[in-house]
Amino acid sequence: MKKDVEKEKQLAAKEAVKYIKNNTIIGLGTGSTVYYAIVEIAELVKNGLKIKAVPTSNATQKLADSLGIPIIDINTIDKIDTTIDGADEFNKDLMLIKGGGGALLREKIVASMTTEEIIIADSSKKVEKLGKFKLPIEVIPFASKYVQSKIKELNGNGKIRFAQNLPFVTDEGNYIIDVDFGFIENPVELSHKLNEIEGVVGHGLFINLTKTVIMGNDNEIITFKK
């Protein structure tokens, strides 16, 4: 029987929200799974939960604002207590591919500042090996051709992401190159190599940034811990 993906997302989101404590700073990820968590958090705020939120994208900021979740400027704080975010893929070591929604740069910064990063996902996101989902790489537009040639040297096949016939522009004013590397045998090594390319400002491999993935699977919740 076909799985109800939306139900799985909702289940994971509801479970993740239980990790949020009163009087804390929380990070809000981006995407269709996190949407459900944000709606839940707004309900808790209405009922008295005291939190301040750092959104990872303009879209999330708009949604949080519209639902009455208090926002705090990331540049006024030293750390974030708990972040709830989504992922495009995760493996058994809780390494992730993120960036399908184009918010990977802020998401990675927020994850790096977070004590407890919680990833929520439906069951389609769990993979044996990362790489079926094309790896998003954020580049400054000036360097996009150069970066593409360096990606080729790493055996990747990259295409600039388009939206409505124009290059997709991130919240930080950059382009995204979606790269097919095939199955990624060594995500750590690839992550380092990509970080070394001038013009790359971020990429969607998240290594050692989460210790908890909460996955909806049919009617149940599976929590993966590292």
The nearer residue to ligand 5RP, 112 or 155, going by C-beta atoms, is 112
For residues 144 and 87, what is the distance between their CA atoms, to the nearest angstrom?
24
CB closer to ligand 5RP out of 108 and 150: 108
With respect to ligand 5RP, which residue has the nearer C-beta, 100 or 187?
A: 100
Q: What are φ and ψ of residue 73, in 5° steps? A: -70, 125
Q: How far is the CB of 168 from ligand 5RP (least distance, A)?
A: 11
Contacts with ligand 5RP by CB under 6 A lie at 29-33, 85-88, 98-104, 107
Residue 183 CA to residue 163 CA, distance in Å, equals: 26
Task: Give min distance, CB of 98 to ligand 5RP, in A.
Answer: 3
Type of residue numbered 50: K
For the bound state, the minimum distance from the C-beta of residue 141 to ligand 5RP, rounded and expressed in Å, comes to 19
Q: Is 107 a catalytic residue?
A: yes
The answer to whether 100 and 125 have CB atoms below 8 angstroms apart is: no
Nearer to ligand 5RP, 81 or 85 (CB): 85
Angle of CA points 170, 109, 136, to nearest 5°: 45
Q: Are 144 and 170 in contact (CB under 8 A)?
A: no
Distance CA 113, CA 96 (A): 17
Q: Which of 8, 15, 89, 107 is catalytic?
A: 107
10 Å CB burial of residue 115 (0-12, 13-18, 19+) is exposed
Least Å distance, CB 103 to ligand 5RP, is 4
Catalytic residues: 107
